[in-house]
Amino acid sequence: MGPPFGAETLAWRGSAYIYVFGWDSDGRRRLFEVFRNQQGALEPVLAFQYPVPLRKLFRHDLDPLYHDRR
């Protein structure tokens, strides 16, 4: 992953999340880190707690976390 790096916000279920991303060599956006805004401070979010809407934005990074086992 490399520059340019970006950050955007996402509101989900009453919480504000900030996600940081970069770009891979194929030009795809790649998720770098997710933070939750807790009373004005950014707290890192564990991968299994990432907001579900991020899965649609970063399928390449998050689909392995949501692999259905049947």
State pLDDT tens for residues 8-18.
999 999 889 99
Give 15's Cβ-side CA count (13 Å radius).
Answer: 18
15 and 26 Cβ atoms separated by less than 8 Å? no
CA neighbor of 42 nearest in space, from 9, 14, 65 = 9
Does this model's pTM top 0.75?
A: yes
Give 7's Cβ-side CA count (13 Å radius).
Answer: 10
In tens, the pLDDT along 21-65 reads 998 888 888 999 999 988 888 999 998 888 889 888 888 888 776
Spans of all domains in the chain = 2-66
